[in-house]
Amino acid sequence: MPDDRDVLGPETGPGLLGNTYVGEAAATEVAVSRSIDHHGPDEPLAEKKLGVLFWIAVGWVALVALAAIFANVLPLHSPTYEDFTAINARPSAQFLLGTDDNGRDLLSRLIFGARVSLVIGFVSVAVGLAIGGTLGLISGYRGGKLDSFLNAASFVVLAFPLIVALIAIISFWTPPTLFKITVILAAGTIPLFYRVVRATTLAFANRDFVIAARTLGATNRRIIFREILPNVVPAAISFALITVAIVIVLEGTLAFLGLSVSLPTPSWGNMIYQGTTNGDLTTNPYIMLWPALAMFLLLLAINIIGDRVRQRFDIREGLL
């Protein structure tokens, strides 16, 4: 709370309790914080907390993850059993989220579908970060021919129309399974991580503290691990979390193209596709609604987590 004044403003005002420096609207805030926190002018500032929203987000991600992992042992209907007596049923005691147009329980499809999204999202990003990030780190640090080549290559890869590549590769490597799609998407994120990590590494590799370490005789490996990596990791992690969101969305797009995990196996992407095309939104909006909502909340949570983590560790914003 104390760190929310205008960065540009020289706001001053008459003091409370001996000339306290207050902002335009912050006078009452200071008074309140004093009474609540009992901070006198000499007491240290409280550490910045991660915030309630952060923990809610963590909770949601954990909930989804746990549900997906333990889906098999949870008391759920089968996600693929088609109950023709209950087609397009509204949410009820029996089918907590309703059923789709083939009579399949939406709740269990949602939970089993979470597996696809989560695995694709986190695993492919983890792999892409590991490979692309390492390449970017080395490439950015050492420079030279390797760097020029990799940089040009990543540019070409990024310039290539994504859709064509995806369709071609997935069609070639049929049938699409969770594993294959994860691998393909992981490969797709490699040039992204390469570029981002490389850019961050470049920003640090020429700083004085690295040069200083080198003059002290540090080996390259030591410099990379002790000087550069700690500075690159926060940015890389927060970018990675955003990429998770992008990849999860990408899986949805693939589902639209019929290239994702195919029905009847559920994924949030193909459920949304199913919900918007097979039936009108008006006949059974729930088919699309639940996965869209779940995806929305999950992506939101991931982004919030990523942002708070970055805020915590980013020197520049940490000072504010």
Q: Taking a C-beta distance cutoff of 8 angstroms, is the pair 113, 268 a contact?
A: yes
Report d(CA 177, CA 257) in Å as an integer: 15
Tokens standing for residue 76: 């759920």
Q: Which is nearer to other proteins, 23 or 103 (CB)?
A: 23
CB of 155 to other proteins, least distance (A): 7
Choice between 224 and 294, CB closer to other proteins:
294
Which one, of 72, 65, 79, lies nearest residue 118 by Cα? 65
Least spacing, CB of residue 137 vs other proteins, in Å: 20
The residue among 100, 80, 79, 78 whose CA lies nearest residue 91 is: 100
Nearer to other proteins, 51 or 264 (CB): 51
Question: What Rg value do the Cα atoms of the chain yield, rounded?
Answer: 25
Q: Which is nearer to other proteins, 171 or 219 (CB)?
A: 171
Measured from the CB atom, the residue of 223 and 240 that comes closer to other proteins is: 240
Residue 69 or 156 having the CB closest to other proteins:
156
Length of the chain: 320
Contact 319, 85 (CB under 8 A): no
Residue position matching structure tokens 């960065």: 7
Q: Which two tokens stand for residue 74?
A: 């949870």
How far apart, in whole angstroms, are the C-alpha atoms of residue 261 and residue 265? Answer: 7
Question: 47 or 217, CB closer to other proteins?
Answer: 47
Minimum CB–partner distance for residue 187 and other proteins (Å):
13
* Orientation of helix 52-69 relative to helix 286-313, angle to 10°: 130
Residues in Cβ contact with 250 at an 8 Å cutoff, skipping those fewer than 6 apart: 185, 188
In the complex, the smallest distance separating the C-beta of residue 207 from other proteins, rounded to whole angstroms, is: 15
Q: Least distance from C-beta 226 to other proteins, angstroms? A: 24
Q: How far is the CB of 244 from other proteins (least distance, A)?
A: 11
C-alpha to C-alpha distances, 270 to 90, 150, 262, 300, nearest whole angstrom: 20, 35, 7, 20
CB of 219 to other proteins, least distance (A): 31
- Closer residue to other proteins, CB minimum distance, 8 or 73: 8
Q: Could you tell me the smallest distance in angstroms from the CB atom of residue 71 to other proteins?
A: 23
User: Within a 10 A sphere around the Cβ of 270, how many other Cβ atoms?
Assistant: 26
Residue at token pair 């420079």: 143
